């Protein structure tokens, strides 16, 4: 089973605005897979309880009509909602381009230029035993773009790439050196 689907093609107007993608980060499908398996377990358990309530296979339990009927229907419904929900929730993608960042939220495409980014933050939030890892880009207009570790397949690499991009943008380019004997400007290293 392949847990990394093919990323969608970046629309041409976004390629013209932000450049071609340098890195692509897809959705974390482990959660979807685990949810689908749990949903199937609920459906199968509900079906078994329903059949036991009918007395299928000669395995009629005391009070099975009432208990199985009360348990079977909610389990089947809950399992079906979980299984269908894993297919209906859209997959989100993040494209790191040379001139900005583009993400999809289902069918909606959003992009920001690197010049709009004020700073990068990487945080681990802990509340009552639940730990959430997230990184976010804080924009100059006060909005933020956040990425949760549970939703991005390669979260560590995404945070490293975003940190590097923001650091490259913030660091001023080295000024060209001028050699005294020839009066020529040399970019980066002597001739």
- Is 23 in the same domain as 37? no
- Is 69 in the same domain as 156? no
Strand runs (DSSP E) across 40-149, as ranges?
94-97, 100-105, 108-113, 117-127, 130-139, 144-148
How many structural domains comprise the chain? 2
Coil/strand/helix, residue 174: coil
Cα–Cα distance between 112 and 127 in angstroms, integer?
31
Sign of CA dihedral 4, 130, 96, 176: negative
The whole domain housing 68 covers 30-88
Q: What pLDDT digit, counting tens, does each position of 59-103 carry? A: 666 655 667 778 888 999 999 999 998 888 888 889 999 899 999
Q: How many CB atoms lie within 10 A of CB 165?
A: 21
Task: Tell me, yes or no, if the pTM score tops 0.75.
Answer: no
190 part of a folded domain = no
Q: What pLDDT digit, counting tens, does each position of 107-143 carry? A: 889 999 988 888 888 888 788 888 888 888 888 888 8
- Is 72 in the same domain as 102? no
- Is 79 in the same domain as 96? no
Give residue 174's pLDDT: 59
Cα–Cα distance between 53 and 96 in angstroms, integer?
55
């Amino acid at each position: 089973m392949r847990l990394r689907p093919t990323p969608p093609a970046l629309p041409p107007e976004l390629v013209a605005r932000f450049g071609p993608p340098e890195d692509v980060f897809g959705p974390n499908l482990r959660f979807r897979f685990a949810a689908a398996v749990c949903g199937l377990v609920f459906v199968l358990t509900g079906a078994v309880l329903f059949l036991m309530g009918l007395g299928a296979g000669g395995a009629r339990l005391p009070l099975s009509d009432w208990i199985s009927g009360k348990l079977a229907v909610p389990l089947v419904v809950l399992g079906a909602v979980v299984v269908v929900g894993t297919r209906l929730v859209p997959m989100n993608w993040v494209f790191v381009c040379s001139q900005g960042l583009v993400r999809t939220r289902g069918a909606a495409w959003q992009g920001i230029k690197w010049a709009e980014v004020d700073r990068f933050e990487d945080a681990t939030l802990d509340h009552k035993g639940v730990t959430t890892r997230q990184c976010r880009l804080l924009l100059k207009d006060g909005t933020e773009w956040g990425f949760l570790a549970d939703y991005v397949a390669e979260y560590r690499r995404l945070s490293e790439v975003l940190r590097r991009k923001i650091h490259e943008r913030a660091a001023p380019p080295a000024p060209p050196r001028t050699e005294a004997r020839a009066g020529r400007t040399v970019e980066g290293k002597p001739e």
